[in-house]
Amino acid sequence: YIAGFLAAIAIFAGFVAVVYYPGRVGAAAIFVALVAAAMGGFQSRLATWAVGIATVGWITGMVVSVAFERPVF
């Protein structure tokens, strides 16, 4: 059950990373998603999606920050 909660937190943080300091939030989201994926269990598909969503959120947030000259960290 813990891996599912971690994956859900990582998905939420991946969306937040697009608009709020992607250097901090995005990196933490990816780390939490990788921990959830390493834990495995019956929610491994959710953890896989969490890794993808957190990574895309981090990349998108970095692009948005650079494009609008906002702070990254």
Question: What is the phi/psi pair of residue 23, to 5°?
Answer: -65, -35
Cα separation, 34 vs 19, whole angstroms: 22
* pLDDT of 33: 97
Cα separation, 64 vs 57, whole angstroms: 10
Cα separation, 55 vs 42, whole angstroms: 22
* pLDDT of 72: 87
Cα separation, 66 vs 46, whole angstroms: 30
Full-model pTM: 0.92
pLDDT at 1 over 90: no
Q: Which among 19-23, 48-52, 66-70 has the top mean pLDDT?
A: 48-52
